[in-house]
């Protein structure tokens, strides 16, 4: 009994304050950001600006209160438990407040719908419950874009600083000397954030200028550039990119691909070193995968859908890259292309881009490590007396990394199955359940079928399913284990 009481006491004594301080500051920043859509609506003469003024004040006040309450612990280093708690806590708390403008505002959304949209935005998933987007106040549309833009930069920092440190899903292969102690996490995160943010902003500006040259209006160019670089997929129209013009589709393809590259390579490129970008096997594999997807889909469309070659190539490139990168834009209803393209698009949505980018899903490097492990195993079978070790970029991969990657694959498949079954129990059909689960865990955006496919939305999905999908978005965005570990007893006693 004494041991049980001691374990309960140690779990109870977990100090939330260092993580709470950071979360509080981020909530304040979220509230301050609501000034931008408020000014947009005020400029338009739309009384909806009052909603952003109110929700921004509520959000900032709550964040400031939490930060002040935890401020006396702000200078201490973070333990591994606090780091995990912070990583997940940010993505749980921010959507709660990001949902307020939808709940109080012109969308007249229930809080379930508002939270779903906020979680989808901040995790850069891109699934939406809203229709009639072109009739909404521009402040609401700008807020959707801002959520995805900040979610994109946030996940880059998490992928470069926290996940390698926490040894999640094989991400420790990207660990650097700067992350040797947990006490250095926050200063290192701030340093990386500053550098990455400038590059992220520059890409967004170039993308916006390109969209404007292609014929989009200034407002559409700005919002779509934010959701493109974040690989988020929120568009200002129910038809997504359909009707925005040929130039916009090609530009989107280019910047979606650029957003899927490791941002650390951009840092090195700005520093004058081009070699790491050219020699990165993850980048080469990603581009080869994208090229194969585009060629196969284009040939299918040329053969079975249309004899207009440029149109076939453009639609294949745009929609194929959009799903591969998890952006979730659509310029055509690919459900009408035939069963093979639909199946292919479902599968490539589970691939994703490179680690350390805004992209989502399983990621290219994990497939590379899986291939290296399987190849080494086959070699051992052929030559039992030989010594064969899996390698990545010419380096032998440690056993714990291979185990982490294998564990991630198993956990991803299990999570996908459990979520799909749970969605089916709420009354959704099989296609909607399976594709919805994959869309949420992979942060892809649209699912399959008439209801949640590229021509639909999640508006008519029941509330229970929406909460399940929102949970799936969170789990998928944080690489599964960063969330699941919080539900283990040993974690809180560690």
Q: Which two tokens stand for residue 171?
A: 């991400």
- Give this prediction's pTM: 0.91
Q: Tell me if 316 is assigned to some domain.
A: yes
Q: How far apart are CA 353 and CA 365, in angstroms?
A: 9
User: Residue 310 falls within a domain, yes or no?
Assistant: yes
Q: What would the mean pLDDT of 282-286 be, rounded to a whole number?
A: 95
Q: What percent of the chain has pLDDT over 90?
A: 65
Please state whether 203 falls in left (phi above 0), alpha (psi between -120 and 50) or beta: alpha
Please report whether residue 114 resides in a domain: no
403-419: per-residue pLDDT in tens? Answer: 889 999 999 999 999 99
pLDDT for the residue numbered 211:
98
Is the CB of residue 60 less than 8 Å from the CB of residue 142? Answer: no
305 assigned to some structural domain: yes
Q: Is residue 28 part of a domain?
A: no
How large is the average pLDDT for residues 73-90? 77
Q: Residue 437 pLDDT more than 90?
A: yes
pLDDT digits (tens, 9 = 90+) for 87-104: 899 999 999 999 999 999
Residue 416 lies in a domain: no
Residue 297 located in a structural domain: yes
Give me the pLDDT at residue 479, please.
87
Summarised one tens digit per residue, pLDDT across range 132-157 is 999 999 999 999 999 999 999 988 88
Count of domains for the chain: 1
In a domain, residue 55? The reply is no
What's the DSSP call for residue 448? Answer: S
pLDDT tens digits, one per residue of 182-203: 344 555 566 777 888 899 999 9
- pLDDT band, very low/low/confident/very high, at 489 (cuts 50, 70, 90): confident
Domain that holds residue 334: 275-347
pLDDT recorded at residue 5: 46
pLDDT at 77: 66
Say how far apart CA 23 and CA 438 lie, in whole Å. 29
- Give the pLDDT of residue 421: 98
Decide if pLDDT at 236 tops 80. Answer: yes
CA-to-CA separations, 448 to 119, 159, 476, in angstroms, rounded: 20, 29, 18
Between 491 and 291, residue with greater pLDDT: 291
């Amino acid at each position: 009994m004494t041991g049980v009481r001691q374990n309960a006491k140690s779990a109870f004594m977990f100090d939330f304050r260092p993580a709470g301080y950071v979360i509080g500051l981020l909530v304040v920043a979220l509230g301050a950001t609501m000034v931008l859509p408020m000014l947009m609506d005020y400029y338009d003469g739309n009384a909806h600006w009052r909603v952003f003024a109110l929700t921004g004040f509520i959000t900032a006040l709550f964040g400031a209160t939490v930060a002040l309450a935890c401020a006396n612990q702000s200078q201490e280093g973070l333990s591994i438990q606090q780091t995990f708690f912070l990583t997940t806590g940010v993505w749980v708390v921010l959507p709660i407040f990001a949902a307020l403008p939808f709940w109080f505002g012109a969308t007249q959304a229930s809080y379930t719908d508002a939270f779903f949209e906020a979680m989808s935005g901040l995790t850069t998933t891109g699934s939406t419950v809203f229709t009639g987007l072109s009739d909404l106040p521009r402040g609401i549309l700008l807020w959707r874009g801002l959520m995805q833009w900040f979610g994109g930069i946030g996940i880059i920092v998490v992928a470069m600083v926290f996940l390698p440190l926490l040894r999640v899903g094989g991400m420790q292969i990207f660990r650097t000397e700067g992350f040797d102690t947990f006490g250095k996490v926050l200063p290192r995160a701030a340093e990386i954030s500053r550098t990455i943010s400038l590059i992220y902003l520059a890409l967004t500006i170039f993308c916006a200028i390109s969209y404007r040259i292609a014929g989009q209006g200034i407002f559409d160019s700005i919002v779509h550039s934010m959701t493109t670089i974040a690989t988020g997929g929120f568009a200002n129209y129910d038809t997504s990119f359909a009707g925005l013009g040929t130039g916009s589709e090609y530009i989107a393809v280019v910047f979606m691909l650029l957003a899927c590259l490791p941002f650390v390579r951009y840092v090195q490129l700005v520093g004058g070193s081009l070699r790491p970008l050219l020699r990165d096997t993850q980048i080469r594999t990603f581009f080869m995968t994208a090229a194969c997807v585009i060629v196969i889909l284009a040939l299918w469309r040329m053969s079975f859908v249309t004899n207009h070659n440029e149109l076939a190539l453009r639609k294949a490139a745009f929609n194929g890259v959009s799903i591969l990168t998890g952006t979730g834009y659509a310029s055509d209803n690919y459900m009408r292309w035939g069963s093979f393209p639909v199946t292919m698009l479902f599968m490539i949505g589970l691939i994703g881009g490179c680690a350390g980018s805004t992209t989502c899903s399983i990621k290219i490097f994990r497939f590379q490590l899986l291939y290296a492990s399987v190849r080494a195993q086959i070699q051992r079978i052929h030559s039992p007396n030989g010594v064969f070790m899996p390698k990545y970029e010419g380096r032998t991969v440690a056993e714990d990394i291979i185990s982490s990657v294998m564990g991630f694959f198993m956990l991803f498949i299990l999570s996908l199955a459990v979520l799909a079954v749970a969605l089916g129990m709420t009354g959704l059909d099989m296609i909607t359940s399976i594709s919805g689960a994959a869309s949420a865990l992979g942060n892809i955006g649209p699912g399959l079928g008439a209801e949640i496919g590229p021509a639909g939305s999640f508006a008519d999905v029941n509330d229970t399913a929406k909460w399940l999908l929102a949970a799936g978005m969170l789990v998928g965005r944080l690489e599964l284990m960063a969330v699941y570990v919080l539900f283990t007893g040993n974690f809180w006693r560690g």
